Structure 1
Amino acid sequence: MSDYNGRQPPAAPVLDKARGLSSAEVAERIAAGQANDVPVRSGRTVGQIVRANLFTRINAMVAVLFAIIAVIGPLQDGLFALVIVFNTLIGIVQELRAKRTLDRLAIVNAARPRVLRDGATVDVATQEVVMDDVIEIGQGEQAVVDGVVVSASALEVDESLLTGESDPVLKRPGDPILSGSFVVAGSGLFRATRVGRAAYAARLAEEASRFGLVRSELRSGVDRILRIITWLLLPTGALLIYSQLFLGGHVTDATSSGGTISGPLADALRGTVAALVSMIPEGLVLLISIAFAVGVVRLGRRHCLVQELPAIEGLARVDVVCTDKTGTLTENGMRVAEVRVLDPTGAHSVDDILAALAAADPSPNRSMAAIAEAHPSAPTWPVVAVAAFSSARKWSGATLKTPDGERHWVIGAPDVLAPPTSPVAADAERIGAAGLRVLLLARAGERVDRENAPGEVAPVALVVLEQRVRDDAAATLRYFADQDVEVKVVSGDNATSVGAVARELGLPGADAPVDARGLPEDDGDFAAQVEQGRVFGRVSPEHKRSMVTGLQERGHTVAMTGDGVNDVLALKQADIGVAMGSGSPAARSVAQIVLLDDRFATLPHVVAEGRRVIGNIERVANLFLTKTVYSMTMVTIVGLIGVAYPFFPRHATLINALTFGIPSFFLALAPNGERARPGFVGRTLRLAVPAGLVSGIAAVTTYLLVLDGAATPTLADRTAVVVTLCATTLWVLLLVAKPYVWWKVALVGAMAGLLLVALFSPAGQAFFALDTGDPAKLVTGLVVAGAAATLITVIRLVDDRLLRRS
């Protein structure tokens, strides 16, 4: 694909490509603004964080309500505004902590392109690349800017992340290369022609073309709820003001003092503010941000980089984990365990051939690196042609000029290079059944760079490589099994070898490994077999992506873990991509989560953190929405019957702080291992709506009973309603806080204790306008609260039973 609309790429400036740019030329380009000024992918800036926490829809609503109280008084009725101030400050501080963690980890994870400068190869930050830099690129690496190929050695580039075309493109000198593409085979040099926001991938990202972020059901659900509440505030507020002004509902504040405005309008506004303050779920959005930020910090301590915050939530919803074998379940390094010579009559020793192939490989993978380590002394045979390893063809090779003439050698998968029924393939299959990796060294019939290569092959030797299984892999797989998360091993290695490793780790279904080359072509049958199988071998990069897609189409939420260039397509397709820190830059760049210490065992901690966030936010949402529903219920009933609203704003502040505000901060950060499920909004409303309706009706019932037909409520009347609502909502808090541990019981007890202090201490009574001088009215409030709590419990039990049946 070309991005130059049929035109030739920009002509190269006059520079020495062997030396690259000089320091002076780099300085000139930086001064001219020709540096790669792309933003670091680590979240929002400090200014954006402050603005996002300060200028919110909820803060705007509260600011308007506080402005009304600031004018009409008294000031203690504006106490609710302090809650918003504290919430905003806490949110900013927590997100700044998360930003520092992300910035630090992002520096560790950032790609370091290799550029030629002053005749030497140096590693630079991505942002330090300038126009006309000559950049080295090899297998698994991603182009960070647009450019033109200067030299290439079997260079094959995958542009599927940009164009959707999955076939690798062979690049020759003069061909364009696009930022965001990655090398699947070979190596080369290219000259930067477009940097920064002018580069192709940067423009795609700005257009939100193929680089969409993880969807957060939590955030989208809360946003939907907040939009509904915002629209409901207008008619309910208007109804209350009308009833207070024209239906005889206004009443003067008996605790008014100097600086307080009295009169029908002021009294109506005061009651309306008290109602609307309770309707606004002021802490819900804040607590979501805090929960995500704290999760980032906690995972950062485990060397886990979360590149997109909602990924924490997404991994908590995962029910299938597809994992590569090499580098994930096994250690990264390999070593040559044995070389079995099959054709000792060759003119050249097997050791010399293996050493020459390793030396000729421009970008050796782990297998070839192990062979190079075992055979360091390579003969000085000139290299005529090279075919770099790619996951698609499963072999690499070189044509070398030996003393006996040109010879063509290839090394790769025995079941690809040799006929499946041959003794060589059978021998390799038997060795692989022990969990070893087996490569076949063979003489090829064609030059390795030709289209019909390798042609007819003659087996020379079997190279046996061994990998060590990670010590923590078995425990990690057991954790996922206990959590009802199915693990599928998806590897490019021989299926028998992959099955042997999976059996060693105790993975169910490992006794029946599946060769992916035999999977059906039909999409439906393909997805069905992928869903049934647990271990797959000989999986190509395109097959990996298709497997993820098939599982998603069958209703699964899929996480893909991997470290190599062959995992990139699947990592991008998966709901959550998890890359190893030592993996290829291309894999790390497309993953939402990067395990910087390469520990597969970190993944359970990520899942647990996501479940903690989701489960606790759902609990907190239940509390805040219960408050919103009971406030709307009270406003509607009071507005229709035309009586004074029972609360002052300070009463609402007291109730909100003790029953929901303070407890929600503790509940939002508590441990929670329950697996996240879809349907956040529906489940939240199932408890919040009935609990809110019952609580609101109970509060109005108490109000009408203690008012007993009087036109003007006394402070004792209002206090009885406060008692009813506090007792009822504290019971809702108990229901939401399950399962119980000592600190949750202590938390509810502490909130009840603070309520008693406010009710019975002289200072509390004076500040919050409370009167406990009429015990009969307090008893009435408690009796109604007891009946309401019983009804809420019955509704909850019935609802739980119906859910279990469904």
Structure 2
Amino acid sequence: MTTVPGLAARGLTDAEVAQRVAEGKTNDVPTRVSRSVSEIVRANVFTRINAILGVLFLIVLSTGSIINGAFGLLIIANSVIGIIQELRAKNTLDKLAIVGQTKPMVRRQSGDGFAARPLAPHEVVLDDIIELGPGDQIVVDGEVVEGANLEVDESLLTGEADPIPKGPGDPVMSGSFVVAGSGAYRATKVGREAYAARLAEEASKFTLVNSELRNGINKILQFITYLLIPAGILIIYTQLFTTEAGFKRSVLAMVGALVPMVPEGLVLMTSIAFAVGVVRLGRRQCLVNELPAIEGLARVDVVCADKTGTLTENGMRVAEVRLLDENAPAADVLARLAADDPRPNASMQAVAEAYKLPPDWAATAIAPFKSATKWSGVSYGEHGNWVIGAPDVLLDPHSATAEEAERIGAKGLRVLLLGRSDLPVDHADAPGTVTPVALVVLEQRIRPDARDTLDYFASQHVAVKVISGDNAVSVGAVADALGLHGETMDARELPEDPQRLAEVLEQCTTFGRVRPDQKRAMVHALQSRQHTVAMTGDGVNDVLALKDADIGVAMGSGAPASRAVAQIVLLDNKFATLPHVVAEGRRVIGNIERVSNLFLTKTVYSVLLAIAVGLGGLSARFLGTDPLLFPFQPIHVTIAAWFTIGIPAFILSLAPNNERAKPGFVRRVMTAALPSGVVIGVATFCSYLLAYQGRQAGPTEQTQASTAALITLLVAAIWVLAVVARPYEWWRVALVVISGLAYVAIFTVPFTRELFLLDPTNPRTTAVALAVGLVAAGAIEVIWWVQGRVLGERRRLWRQVG
């Protein structure tokens, strides 16, 4: 807590704060929008799928067949698993949100005086005095009470591109951020009264929307719904009104047909995969503000990385000061400039560390540093007007001093020019003519993990563009030291035309002297070439680009504004965490695609089988042939899902998966699942017809026919699992083998055969069923290889090592 001397606005006393809290004049807008425990429970229990299964469960219970109601356990399992996983994710996110929370500096009573201290946004009350500096996000609406060259960017609210100067009496809005200068404002609207505060609330919202993966699954569910309605009506009519099998058997057959049509675990598995991803990334101190960012980063093919704070460490030190004017008091000026900067950036912090004894000079004018101008300065009356900034901006780039600075920068060092100006720094034409006094050489340490991270992206064919406000030669040297080779360009030479800009971005790798508006334009240009762009940064100059990139990644130590607009915040400030985020996204996307294949295949063969049996029932109604009873009772379809879908899908959804994310999720899933589902549906129906003995069949013969159909279905469905599990590793092979052996045990153990209403004792019927199942498995295998050839995808049985 730092005491602030000579305040124009002292802040509130403890009594004044208590009074406002009692009156409800607090900033009660939540910093993170996540569902409460009760909302999570309701959302996982009262689902459409649970409602459908619940009604069918009650219908089965009305027949008195308890064992056939076993599928009702799915309601409990879906709800419990969903609730547990979402609560884990919520707990992780809420803890990380507290760590990464923006905390404004609020002036409050402290002992006998007043001091500025960091508070959580919800602790702010009406009339609080909040201090501002570069990079600070404005958390509530207010009115400026103090300002020193204060400039605020409101583009996220109003679309106004240029920073707006703010002085005492001017309004400021929550959601905007400070780009230059310093000051303080009084909170005039807090909580939900501040309309603009909703932007900040939305910026940190935990959501599952705008996800290509979830949108794809919704399309699949829509497709399934279109199939379910006619197939459901048909099977209900034929089983209840044409089979003449009695109410109990007809109802059980109807439910047995409807239950497998419902993709009860697809949405659940997707949610679990996302939630587990959040927890895993949370362990790496990675805060996911928007959940689809996990999958979005897996699709990224261009990463725009800021140099300072991303490839290099934030901290710097003064390596050398080269005097150009031996008579100038360079050391005194540097010490004074650092002391007069209320919110020093990394460069000025290094200067302050090196020069700790400032002279007693009074500032007559101050010009804060701006990313757009690349310099700052202070006028000291008779002691002169002093500026410090980029040599190639303050001087003619072709001057001897600027060229010397560039030679030094070519070694990867940052170089600042200290110069004397002929104009006061607050003059409209400042900095005017600058006389060079000294070159301040700053040393930046390259992050030890940066090289490995860039190598990873290169191996994954993800292009990296280094975009920095530093000298282009210096930025290029750092990139080259990290093994990132390519052309370097000064952003002052970039074309403004978006098409030409996109062409330059395709050709060059490193860019220096980039303005904040250019960073945004570069992101847009890359997106215009159908690239999925991730932007990493930590400064206020990165905010606009972070907001407009497909995925914004901010460092935890960065400016509050950059953390607020980013989808992902690396709280440990490690660039090396990004590959883990990419890997997590790939795991989610790849595994959900596998799981979707299993669930959609089941729905396709269930619908096809229902339609085939239903049409058979209609023919019996109108042509006088034998009616067809649906082959399966609810318990049969329940056990069929255990080891062909349920348990394997859960394991596969959480397994490691480093395959690159590819577009066309829905097309690939439908292309894979539809043929397999048709093969299984046709094979199962044929097997049933071969074993079915008509209306004269007794209960034993009907059970044997149902068992035969189930055997065929399971053999083919296990092979679908075997195909989906590829490329194989030992545990994937074990998963398929154990799933198959589980059914062998169910069909051979007398207790389970009786419990699950199975009868495989007819050798001829069982042999035919196995043969038909093997033929279906062979067809599924052929289809898998043919699809790979048609789609141009390389099919592999075993995972490559290394």
Contact 2:718/2:736, CA 8 A, preserved across alignment: yes
Q: Secondary structure of the equivalent of 2:386? A: strand
CA deviations on 1:186-240 (whole Å, 9 max, x unpaired) are 1101000011112233345789999998620111111222233234322211101
Residue type at the aligned position of 2:65: P
Matching residue within 15, 27, 52 for 1:24: 15
Residue type at the aligned position of 1:580: M
Contact 2:680/2:717, CA 8 A, preserved across alignment: yes
Contact 1:214/1:575, CA 8 A, preserved across alignment: no
Q: Which whole-Å CA distance do the structure 2 matches of 1:667 and 1:769 have between them?
A: 30
Distance 1:376 1:236, change over 3 A: same
Q: Which whole-Å CA distance do the structure 2 matches of 1:718 and 1:458 have between them?
A: 95
Match of 1:199 in 2: 194
Unmatched tracts of structure 1, length 5 or more: 1-15, 252-262
Q: Which whole-Å CA distance do the structure 1 matches of 2:257 and 2:398 have between them?
A: 80
Match of 2:55 in 1: 64
Unmatched tracts of structure 2, length 5 or more: 1-6, 618-627, 795-802
Contact 1:329/1:473, CA 8 A, preserved across alignment: yes
Residue type at the aligned position of 2:565: V
Q: Which whole-Å CA distance do the structure 2 matches of 1:620 and 1:153 have between them?
A: 58
Match of 2:300 in 1: 318
Matching residue within 138, 151, 159 for 1:156: 151
Matching residue within 360, 376, 392 for 1:415: 392
Q: Secondary structure of the equivalent of 2:380? A: strand
Q: Which whole-Å CA distance do the structure 2 matches of 1:502 and 1:369 have between them?
A: 24
Matching residue within 471, 478, 483 for 2:460: 483
Q: Which whole-Å CA distance do the structure 1 matches of 2:332 and 2:79 have between them?
A: 68
Match of 2:185 in 1: 190
Residue type at the aligned position of 1:800: G
Distance 1:447 1:294, change over 3 A: same
Q: Which whole-Å CA distance do the structure 2 matches of 1:160 and 1:499 have between them?
A: 31
Match status 1:782 vs 2:767: no
Q: Which whole-Å CA distance do the structure 1 matches of 2:475 and 2:673 have between them?
A: 49
**What's the offset of the Cα at 1:170?**
0.9
Contact 1:250/1:267, CA 8 A, preserved across alignment: no
Match of 2:422 in 1: 445
Match of 2:168 in 1: 173
Distance 1:765 1:58, change over 3 A: same
Q: Which whole-Å CA distance do the structure 1 matches of 2:282 and 2:136 have between them?
A: 25
Match status 1:504 vs 2:481: yes
CA deviations on 1:391-411 (whole Å, 9 max, x unpaired) are 11110011113xxx1521111
Q: Which whole-Å CA distance do the structure 2 matches of 1:613 and 1:241 have between them?
A: 37
Q: Which whole-Å CA distance do the structure 2 matches of 1:97 and 1:205 have between them?
A: 25
Contact 1:42/1:307, CA 8 A, preserved across alignment: no
**What's the offset of the Cα at 1:805?**
7.5
CA deviations on 1:260-293 (whole Å, 9 max, x unpaired) are xxx24x4333222111111111111111111111
**What's the offset of the Cα at 1:708?**
5.0
Q: Which whole-Å CA distance do the structure 1 matches of 2:764 and 2:292 have between them?
A: 52
Match of 1:555 in 2: 530
Q: Secondary structure of the equivalent of 1:383? A: coil
Match of 2:621 in 1: none
Q: Which whole-Å CA distance do the structure 2 matches of 1:600 and 1:207 have between them?
A: 26
Matching residue within 662, 669, 679 for 2:654: 669
**What's the offset of the Cα at 1:345?**
3.4
Q: How many pairs are equivalent?
A: 771
Match of 2:41 in 1: 50
CA deviations on 1:531-566 (whole Å, 9 max, x unpaired) are 222111111111111111111111111111111111
Q: CA-atom RMSD, angstroms?
A: 1.8
Contact 1:396/1:412, CA 8 A, preserved across alignment: yes
**What's the offset of the Cα at 1:475?**
0.5
Match status 1:147 vs 2:137: no
Matching residue within 264, 270, 276 for 1:282: 264
Q: Which whole-Å CA distance do the structure 1 matches of 2:499 and 2:258 have between them?
A: 53
Matching residue within 198, 210, 227 for 1:232: 227
Q: Secondary structure of the equivalent of 1:332? A: strand
Match status 1:376 vs 2:361: no
CA deviations on 1:549-599 (whole Å, 9 max, x unpaired) are 111111111111111111111111111111111111111111111111111
Contact 2:290/2:567, CA 8 A, preserved across alignment: yes
Q: Secondary structure of the equivalent of 1:465? A: strand
Identity %: 60
Q: Secondary structure of the equivalent of 2:184? A: strand
Q: Which whole-Å CA distance do the structure 1 matches of 2:517 and 2:32 have between them?
A: 27
Distance 1:201 1:143, change over 3 A: same
Contact 2:476/2:488, CA 8 A, preserved across alignment: yes
Distance 1:766 1:214, change over 3 A: closer
Match of 2:800 in 1: none
**What's the offset of the Cα at 1:445?**
2.0
Contact 2:240/2:251, CA 8 A, preserved across alignment: no
Which moves more between the two structures, 129-138 or 93-102? 93-102
Contact 2:708/2:766, CA 8 A, preserved across alignment: yes
CA deviations on 1:54-76 (whole Å, 9 max, x unpaired) are 12121111111112112123111
Q: Which whole-Å CA distance do the structure 1 matches of 2:432 and 2:150 have between them?
A: 21
Match of 1:791 in 2: 779
**What's the offset of the Cα at 1:373?**
0.8
Match of 1:5 in 2: none
Match of 2:374 in 1: 394
Matches within 5 A, 1:323-722: 323-346=305-328, 349-401=329-381, 405=382, 407-509=384-486, 512-642=487-617, 643-709=628-694, 712=697, 714-722=702-710
Match of 1:7 in 2: none
Residue type at the aligned position of 1:780: V
Contact 1:237/1:276, CA 8 A, preserved across alignment: yes
Which moves more between the two structures, 101-110 or 701-710? 701-710
Q: Which whole-Å CA distance do the structure 1 matches of 2:447 and 2:498 have between them?
A: 34
Contact 2:139/2:197, CA 8 A, preserved across alignment: no
Distance 1:546 1:155, change over 3 A: same
| TM score, norm. by length of structure 2 | 0.94
Q: Secondary structure of the equivalent of 2:417? A: strand
Q: Which whole-Å CA distance do the structure 2 matches of 1:171 and 1:589 have between them?
A: 22
**What's the offset of the Cα at 1:433?**
0.3
Q: Which whole-Å CA distance do the structure 2 matches of 1:508 and 1:680 have between them?
A: 34
Q: Secondary structure of the equivalent of 1:728? A: helix
| TM score, norm. by length of structure 1 | 0.93
Q: Which whole-Å CA distance do the structure 1 matches of 2:497 and 2:204 have between them?
A: 29
Q: Which whole-Å CA distance do the structure 2 matches of 1:677 and 1:495 have between them?
A: 34
Q: Secondary structure of the equivalent of 1:233? A: helix
Residue type at the aligned position of 1:353: V
Contact 1:412/1:440, CA 8 A, preserved across alignment: yes
CA deviations on 1:326-378 (whole Å, 9 max, x unpaired) are 011111100011111112233xx100111111111221111011111111111
Q: Which whole-Å CA distance do the structure 2 matches of 1:503 and 1:770 have between them?
A: 69
Q: Which whole-Å CA distance do the structure 2 matches of 1:650 and 1:330 have between them?
A: 61
**What's the offset of the Cα at 1:245?**
3.4
**What's the offset of the Cα at 1:658?**
1.6
Match status 1:115 vs 2:110: no
Q: Which whole-Å CA distance do the structure 1 matches of 2:236 and 2:101 have between them?
A: 57
**What's the offset of the Cα at 1:90?**
1.2
Q: Secondary structure of the equivalent of 2:445? A: coil
Distance 1:730 1:73, change over 3 A: same
Residue type at the aligned position of 2:717: T
